Amino acid sequence: MSRRRRAGITILFVLAAAFLFWLDHGVIKPKWQAPSESNKSTKSYDLEKYHAKTFSVVNVVDGDTIDIDAADGKYDHTRIRLWGIDTPETKNPETGVMYFGPEAAEFTRKLALGRQVTIYLDESRTRDKYNRLLAYVKLPDGGFLNEVLLTEGFAYSDLRFKHDFYNKYKQLESAARSQKRGLWEKITPEQMPEWRQDKIKNQDENIKNTD
Protein backbone atom coordinates (compact mmCIF):
# COMPACT_ATOMS: atom_id res chain seq x y z
CA MET A 1 0.00 0.00 0.00
CA SER A 2 1.41 3.36 -0.98
CA ARG A 3 2.27 6.04 1.55
CA ARG A 4 -0.37 8.38 0.07
CA ARG A 5 -3.08 5.74 0.39
CA ARG A 6 -2.14 5.01 4.02
CA ALA A 7 -2.27 8.73 4.76
CA GLY A 8 -5.72 8.98 3.17
CA ILE A 9 -7.08 6.10 5.25
CA THR A 10 -5.64 7.63 8.41
CA ILE A 11 -7.33 10.94 7.67
CA LEU A 12 -10.67 9.16 7.12
CA PHE A 13 -10.36 7.41 10.50
CA VAL A 14 -9.57 10.71 12.21
CA LEU A 15 -12.56 12.41 10.58
CA ALA A 16 -14.85 9.51 11.51
CA ALA A 17 -13.68 9.62 15.14
CA ALA A 18 -14.21 13.39 15.25
CA PHE A 19 -17.72 12.99 13.86
CA LEU A 20 -18.64 10.36 16.47
CA PHE A 21 -17.27 12.61 19.22
CA TRP A 22 -19.44 15.49 17.92
CA LEU A 23 -22.54 13.26 17.93
CA ASP A 24 -21.88 12.32 21.55
CA HIS A 25 -21.11 15.83 22.82
CA GLY A 26 -22.55 18.21 20.29
CA VAL A 27 -26.03 19.30 19.16
CA ILE A 28 -27.41 15.82 18.44
CA LYS A 29 -28.10 14.09 21.75
CA PRO A 30 -28.55 10.32 22.11
CA LYS A 31 -32.07 9.18 22.94
CA TRP A 32 -30.89 7.42 26.07
CA GLN A 33 -29.57 10.52 27.83
CA ALA A 34 -30.60 11.23 31.43
CA PRO A 35 -33.71 13.40 31.91
CA SER A 36 -33.08 17.16 32.08
CA GLU A 37 -34.25 19.48 34.84
CA SER A 38 -37.20 20.59 32.71
CA ASN A 39 -38.58 17.04 32.70
CA LYS A 40 -38.86 16.70 36.49
CA SER A 41 -42.65 17.06 36.44
CA THR A 42 -43.04 13.33 36.08
CA LYS A 43 -45.51 11.16 37.91
CA SER A 44 -42.96 9.80 40.38
CA TYR A 45 -41.59 13.30 41.04
CA ASP A 46 -45.08 14.67 41.71
CA LEU A 47 -45.96 11.82 44.04
CA GLU A 48 -42.77 12.31 46.04
CA LYS A 49 -43.12 16.09 46.23
CA TYR A 50 -46.86 16.56 46.82
CA HIS A 51 -48.66 13.35 47.82
CA ALA A 52 -49.92 13.44 51.44
CA LYS A 53 -48.03 16.71 51.99
CA THR A 54 -49.54 19.88 53.48
CA PHE A 55 -49.39 23.31 51.84
CA SER A 56 -51.04 26.71 52.16
CA VAL A 57 -53.59 27.89 49.57
CA VAL A 58 -52.38 31.28 48.34
CA ASN A 59 -54.86 31.92 45.50
CA VAL A 60 -58.23 30.74 44.24
CA VAL A 61 -58.52 30.99 40.45
CA ASP A 62 -62.05 29.64 40.25
CA GLY A 63 -64.17 26.94 41.84
CA ASP A 64 -62.01 24.02 40.80
CA THR A 65 -58.57 25.63 40.48
CA ILE A 66 -56.29 26.85 43.27
CA ASP A 67 -52.63 27.74 43.84
CA ILE A 68 -50.51 26.42 46.71
CA ASP A 69 -47.25 27.77 48.16
CA ALA A 70 -44.88 25.33 46.47
CA ALA A 71 -42.65 26.25 43.55
CA ASP A 72 -43.34 24.33 40.34
CA GLY A 73 -40.61 24.66 37.73
CA LYS A 74 -40.32 28.31 36.74
CA TYR A 75 -43.44 29.24 38.74
CA ASP A 76 -43.45 30.39 42.37
CA HIS A 77 -46.65 28.45 43.09
CA THR A 78 -48.15 25.13 42.04
CA ARG A 79 -51.49 25.34 40.25
CA ILE A 80 -53.92 22.60 41.23
CA ARG A 81 -56.94 21.45 39.27
CA LEU A 82 -59.33 19.61 41.57
CA TRP A 83 -59.44 16.08 40.22
CA GLY A 84 -62.76 14.47 39.31
CA ILE A 85 -64.95 17.57 39.29
CA ASP A 86 -65.73 20.53 37.05
CA THR A 87 -67.14 23.84 38.27
CA PRO A 88 -68.68 26.48 35.97
CA GLU A 89 -66.11 28.75 34.35
CA THR A 90 -65.36 32.30 35.47
CA LYS A 91 -62.10 33.09 33.66
CA ASN A 92 -62.38 31.26 30.33
CA PRO A 93 -62.60 33.81 27.47
CA GLU A 94 -64.28 31.26 25.20
CA THR A 95 -67.22 30.61 27.52
CA GLY A 96 -67.33 33.79 29.55
CA VAL A 97 -68.73 33.69 33.07
CA MET A 98 -70.98 30.65 33.27
CA TYR A 99 -74.08 30.12 35.38
CA PHE A 100 -73.12 29.59 39.03
CA GLY A 101 -69.43 30.13 38.28
CA PRO A 102 -68.95 33.11 40.64
CA GLU A 103 -70.84 31.30 43.41
CA ALA A 104 -68.60 28.23 43.05
CA ALA A 105 -65.44 30.37 43.08
CA GLU A 106 -66.57 32.24 46.18
CA PHE A 107 -67.45 28.98 47.93
CA THR A 108 -63.97 27.58 47.26
CA ARG A 109 -62.41 30.87 48.38
CA LYS A 110 -64.22 30.75 51.74
CA LEU A 111 -63.26 27.13 52.35
CA ALA A 112 -59.66 27.10 51.17
CA LEU A 113 -57.97 30.47 50.77
CA GLY A 114 -55.26 30.94 53.38
CA ARG A 115 -55.87 27.47 54.81
CA GLN A 116 -53.47 24.58 55.24
CA VAL A 117 -54.58 21.74 52.97
CA THR A 118 -53.23 18.26 52.33
CA ILE A 119 -52.73 17.14 48.74
CA TYR A 120 -53.51 13.62 47.56
CA LEU A 121 -52.72 12.42 44.06
CA ASP A 122 -54.11 9.66 41.86
CA GLU A 123 -51.28 7.33 40.86
CA SER A 124 -52.79 6.82 37.40
CA ARG A 125 -52.29 10.47 36.44
CA THR A 126 -50.86 13.57 38.15
CA ARG A 127 -51.03 16.34 35.50
CA ASP A 128 -53.55 17.62 32.96
CA LYS A 129 -52.79 18.90 29.45
CA TYR A 130 -52.07 22.37 30.86
CA ASN A 131 -49.52 20.85 33.28
CA ARG A 132 -51.69 21.64 36.31
CA LEU A 133 -51.43 19.22 39.20
CA LEU A 134 -54.52 16.99 39.47
CA ALA A 135 -55.35 16.50 43.14
CA TYR A 136 -57.84 15.65 45.84
CA VAL A 137 -57.57 18.46 48.39
CA LYS A 138 -58.18 17.70 52.06
CA LEU A 139 -59.38 20.62 54.15
CA PRO A 140 -58.38 21.32 57.79
CA ASP A 141 -61.69 19.85 59.04
CA GLY A 142 -60.95 16.53 57.35
CA GLY A 143 -63.36 16.89 54.44
CA PHE A 144 -62.23 16.95 50.82
CA LEU A 145 -62.84 20.12 48.85
CA ASN A 146 -63.67 18.11 45.72
CA GLU A 147 -66.43 16.24 47.53
CA VAL A 148 -67.83 19.26 49.37
CA LEU A 149 -68.25 21.13 46.08
CA LEU A 150 -70.15 18.17 44.65
CA THR A 151 -72.29 17.63 47.74
CA GLU A 152 -73.34 21.27 47.97
CA GLY A 153 -74.13 21.54 44.26
CA PHE A 154 -71.29 23.82 43.17
CA ALA A 155 -69.67 21.31 40.79
CA TYR A 156 -70.35 18.62 38.23
CA SER A 157 -68.86 15.17 38.52
CA ASP A 158 -66.38 15.17 35.63
CA LEU A 159 -67.38 12.17 33.51
CA ARG A 160 -64.67 12.72 30.89
CA PHE A 161 -61.84 11.09 32.83
CA LYS A 162 -61.57 7.98 34.98
CA HIS A 163 -60.06 8.32 38.45
CA ASP A 164 -60.05 6.53 41.81
CA PHE A 165 -63.35 8.04 43.02
CA TYR A 166 -65.22 8.15 39.73
CA ASN A 167 -68.29 6.21 40.93
CA LYS A 168 -68.38 7.93 44.31
CA TYR A 169 -68.35 11.36 42.70
CA LYS A 170 -71.17 10.38 40.36
CA GLN A 171 -73.24 9.38 43.40
CA LEU A 172 -72.45 12.62 45.24
CA GLU A 173 -73.57 14.66 42.25
CA SER A 174 -76.71 12.55 41.86
CA ALA A 175 -77.66 13.21 45.48
CA ALA A 176 -77.12 16.97 45.12
CA ARG A 177 -79.13 16.97 41.90
CA SER A 178 -82.07 15.10 43.46
CA GLN A 179 -82.09 17.55 46.39
CA LYS A 180 -81.76 20.55 44.01
CA ARG A 181 -78.76 21.89 45.86
CA GLY A 182 -76.75 24.80 44.53
CA LEU A 183 -76.75 25.08 40.75
CA TRP A 184 -79.17 22.14 40.42
CA GLU A 185 -82.07 24.23 41.70
CA LYS A 186 -82.61 26.22 38.50
CA ILE A 187 -80.03 25.24 35.89
CA THR A 188 -81.05 24.46 32.31
CA PRO A 189 -79.12 22.15 29.95
CA GLU A 190 -78.07 25.16 27.86
CA GLN A 191 -76.26 26.62 30.89
CA MET A 192 -74.14 23.52 31.42
CA PRO A 193 -70.59 23.05 30.09
CA GLU A 194 -70.38 21.90 26.49
CA TRP A 195 -68.99 18.50 27.45
CA ARG A 196 -71.94 17.96 29.77
CA GLN A 197 -74.43 18.94 27.08
CA ASP A 198 -72.79 16.42 24.75
CA LYS A 199 -73.19 13.69 27.39
CA ILE A 200 -76.90 14.49 27.71
CA LYS A 201 -77.38 14.39 23.92
CA ASN A 202 -75.61 11.05 23.68
CA GLN A 203 -77.75 9.62 26.48
CA ASP A 204 -80.95 10.84 24.77
CA GLU A 205 -79.83 9.30 21.48
CA ASN A 206 -79.08 5.98 23.17
CA ILE A 207 -82.55 5.97 24.74
CA LYS A 208 -84.19 6.65 21.36
CA ASN A 209 -82.19 3.85 19.74
CA THR A 210 -83.39 1.34 22.34
CA ASP A 211 -87.09 2.26 21.95
pLDDT for position 207: 37
Query: Lowest-confidence range among 41-45, 100-104, 134-138?
Result: 41-45
* pLDDT of 181 over the 50 cut: yes
What are the two backbone dihedrals, phi and then psi, of residue 77, each rounded to the nearest 5 degrees?
-125, 160
* pLDDT of 211 over the 90 cut: no
Domain residue ranges of the chain, discontinuous segments joined by +: 41-194
The reported pTM is 0.76
* pLDDT of 25 over the 80 cut: no
Residue 200 pLDDT grade (very low, low, confident, very high; cuts 50, 70, 90): confident
* pLDDT of 141 over the 50 cut: yes
* pLDDT of 26 over the 80 cut: no
* pLDDT of 40 over the 70 cut: no
pLDDT for position 32: 29
68 or 34, which is more confident: 68
In this structure, which amino acid lies at residue 119? I
183 CB burial (10 A radius; 0-12, 13-18, 19+): buried
Mean pLDDT of 59-63: 98
Active-site positions read: 81, 89, 132
* pLDDT of 81 over the 60 cut: yes
115 to each of 57, 91, 132, how far by Cα in Å? 6, 23, 20
In this structure, which amino acid lies at residue 124? S
Query: Lowest-confidence range among 9-13, 76-80, 97-101, 197-201?
Result: 9-13
pLDDT for position 20: 45
State how far the Cα of 116 lies from the Cα of 149, in Å rounded to an integer: 18
State how far the Cα of 208 lies from the Cα of 206, in Å rounded to an integer: 5
Q: How high does pLDDT run on average in the chain?
A: 84
Q: Residues near 84 by Cβ (< 8 Å), separated by ≥ 6? A: 136, 146, 157, 158, 161, 163, 165, 166, 169
Pick the CATH number of 41-194 from 1.10.357.10, 2.60.40.10, 3.10.129.10, 2.40.50.90: 2.40.50.90
